[in-house]
Amino acid sequence: MQEFLSVTALNEYIRALMEADPILSGLWVKGEISGFRLYQKSGHMYFTLKEGDSSISAVMFKSRTRFLKFKPEDGMEVLLRASVSVFAREGKYQLYVEEMQPYGTGDLFLYLAKLKAKLQAEGCFDPALKKPVPAMVNKVGIVTSQDGAALRDIMRVIRQRHSNIEVMLVHSSVQGIEAPAELARGIAWLNEYARAEVIIVGRGGGSFEDLMAFNSEEVVRAIYESRIPVISAVGHEVDFTLADLAADLRAATPTQAASLAVPDMEMLENAIAASQHKLMQSIRRKILYQSESLDRLMMKRIWKQPQLMIDRRGEILRNLEKNLLRAGLKMADDKKMQLSLNLTALDALSPLKIMQRGYAVVSKDNRIVREAAAVQIGDQLQVELQDAKLKVEVKDKEKVKRWRM
């Protein structure tokens, strides 16, 4: 009977051959990442490494991904240290990645430049959208590694400046493949549940690769979307990341971040005490000035001889009363004289005065006759003299011609 191998045995045999090959057990491979997937639950990464029309599947387990200095993405060209073996259950050979790095520092800088331009176009770095850090803070949130020296520096400064402040720490990795997601979740959690008044996000100094988590899109967006002001505290003064550009305030070091976030209560108390002292001095000077003014007033004659002042004012009042009476009498005399003149002029124009000079008033039907045309032969007229009224009948009328000047 012919001998045969099971599928499992065949796959295991091929895997043994590959793992025994010194070339396939430790080699460097360059290619472009495609179909990248990171499983949050397991922490493993799966992707395809491509070059032209050729490709090979690859996996990087969580035990190795935690050493990554950056987040892999589709289209990124990388250099892998890996071994080739067979996944026996499916008979599929693939790369088992031990180490990954961007192919050349220039490529990494190019990637960051593109990411920065993208986020800047979306307004993530817009200075007009920066939120002010409150002057008085009683609750501060911190997102960093609980084991790092940065946290110890921050806490030391905070306790020195404000011993009664409430501090909420959200532990997060600060480097490696999981760091961006953990940092972003920490910022979101403080916004959602802790209601901190200001958030410090940072770590101690490190190499360019060590700070890559703070150049990630997740962290930048988390800072940009935070409703609470965020202070970035990444590394030393020479280090600068995209998180610094997105933050509402950038601190050169974690120590400076704590100083910017938390008020110095001792300094404030001293300032308040100094202001109170100045206020009390100002009040005392005001009281002293008003007391001196009151003393000067009390020394005036009105307080020593009040009756004399009253008598003097009374005399002035009586003089004013006399002057007013004289002015009133004079005004009455003037009005009487004016009235007399008006009556004389009016009397001169009276019809009675005219009739005394020989004139009469002729009327017809109780209407004064002003011209001959209003009278006809036979009309009954009434003639009013100074001392009598006559009724006459018109027998004749003759028009009189008068010369006009």
Q: Helices (H), strands (E): how many in the chain?
A: 12, 14
Order of strands across the sheet that contains 139-144: 166-171, 139-144, 198-203, 230-234, 249-251
Distances (CA, A) of 185 to 147, 175, 178, 180, 188: 18, 15, 11, 9, 5
Those residues whose C-beta lies under 8 Å from the C-beta of residue 15, and which sit 6 or more positions away, are 85, 86, 88
pTM of the model: 0.52
Q: Which of 66, 71, 85, 67 is nearest to 23 (CA)?
A: 85
Q: Which of 374, 168, 379 is nearest to 261 (CA)?
A: 168
What pLDDT was estimated at residue 81? 87
What pLDDT was estimated at residue 212? 84
Q: Could you report the per-residue pLDDT of 152-191, keeping only the tens digit for each? A: 999 999 888 888 889 999 999 998 878 899 999 999 999 9
- To the nearest 10 degrees (0 to 180), the angle between helices 149-161 and 254-261 is 30
Q: Could you report the per-residue pLDDT of 247-298, keeping only the tens digit for each? A: 999 998 899 999 998 887 777 777 777 888 889 889 989 988 888 887 777 7
- What does the mean pLDDT of the chain come to? 85
Q: Could you report the per-residue pLDDT of 82-122, keeping only the tens digit for each? A: 999 888 788 888 999 998 888 765 566 777 888 889 999 99
What pLDDT was estimated at residue 404? 57
What pLDDT was estimated at residue 195? 80
What would the DSSP string read from start to end of 98-136?
Answer: EEEEESSHHHHHHHHHHHHHHHHHTTTT-GGGPPPPPSS
Residue 351 has pLDDT above 80, yes or no: no
What pLDDT was estimated at residue 146? 93
- CA atoms of 269 and 216, how far apart (whole Å): 41
Residue 21 has pLDDT above 70, yes or no: yes
Say which CATH topology domain 137-263 has: Rossmann fold (3.40.50)
Those residues whose C-beta lies under 8 Å from the C-beta of residue 42, and which sit 6 or more positions away, are 62
What pLDDT was estimated at residue 237? 55
Q: Could you report the per-residue pLDDT of 378-397, keeping only the tens digit for each? A: 888 888 887 788 888 888 87
pLDDT band at 2 (very low <50, low <70, confident <90, very high): low
Pairing of strands 45-51, 27-38: antiparallel
CB atoms within 10 A of CB 92: 10
CATH code of 7-103, in short, is 2.40.50.140
- CA atoms of 241 and 115, how far apart (whole Å): 12
Which residue did the predictor score with more confidence, 329 or 23? 329
Phi and psi torsions of 233, nearest 5°: -140, 75
Which residue did the predictor score with more confidence, 104 or 151? 151
- CA atoms of 2 and 345, how far apart (whole Å): 166
